[in-house]
Chains A and B, each alone.
Chain A
């Protein structure tokens, strides 16, 4: 059907929740078979996790490239209604005939005024950049490097800040409206695709690995930002404590995953992600030694080529062993990685100047449950049983890498349409 309605009442074939790569894919793929979709994203911009990645494995190609093609498909598209800063409040009805209540948070920006850039340049308020895990600061009014929609956003933390308010008032009047209030929008849709993605497992909970205690222990998602051109170090990989060159870096696999005390499942992407990140280090610091501590290296299918070629690298070393502890060397901020042979119990220790924890993925549906009786497992992944009318897509369904997420999201559209025809 054609998307219809405006303002606070919209009718479409499918509601897609989550504007990361899975949700974007689902909405576009649906529209290109002539169906309509409302695409809902809680952040001010589309792109989700992939927009914050430096490169994809195994091609080592930039995620922006595929995002650009997808944004291009959206730019011409009348059948996808994009709603940012929006979350799902309530779902009523049944498969084939849902009514969804959405909450739209204010953007506080009235329009992309022609002179916006100039004002932002002068914005005196800086806030921690959440995209970079708060490592650096950015202006409280911001636009990421490849923003879709290309409209500025205001960091919600400053809206009630007096200094910000007085600055905003001093700007040309039609730029900000700090009195904007949240709005409610109702959507009628036949099916719901739940593509809410993931968040990294909280590494601070893995006590023995030292994240949050030792300056030079970072997670793989933070490391990805360090390698990114728009990251806190403009893409320069360096030691957090003193910005020193990397000479010896360790990657700790299964940091939380495959661990009964944390995430019992395998997060499926961390092996290839660390191999990728080892390649980043290799590129920037050709002299550095790279040590990867693993239980099993899991690179299915053609990803094996990526592992095999990396394994041949004379500077990259794979060590079989479960890391029991990461501790700081007093005085140097260096780190000791203690790895245990799971069979003999023998511990091997090595000194590193930086350690990356390959933390796993936690589905966001743990925190943000679909407000219907969707069938989920103990860890928050949606079941392939879609009788509730909610179809999972991407990491909301399983721990997937990007290609598998997009594959799953493409299929989710056909699954959702099965439901439409049933009703």
Chain B
């Protein structure tokens, strides 16, 4: 059973036990436009909450993706290297960015559920 949570910076986290799969929301991709390049963190890197973890580049601009919670990067989505446009077609599915081992479950408390996120982007 996974629970999906959201940040005010337009990331989503699918929580499954002590692992969170992280990506950017469909709203975020619609704002960025056509994604042409994604830089992902290295597997094994320990991220601190709110630090720049990945970069999404559209034709027009580069945008940082911040770590929504602290923890070690367990896996990254290599498919995004060859097909960055996946972010535009399936932001909240196939275009996940990385999986992180949740270091401190209390950090999840500050995140939004789907209803709250919908209100945030309305």
Q: Do A and B come together as binding partners?
A: no
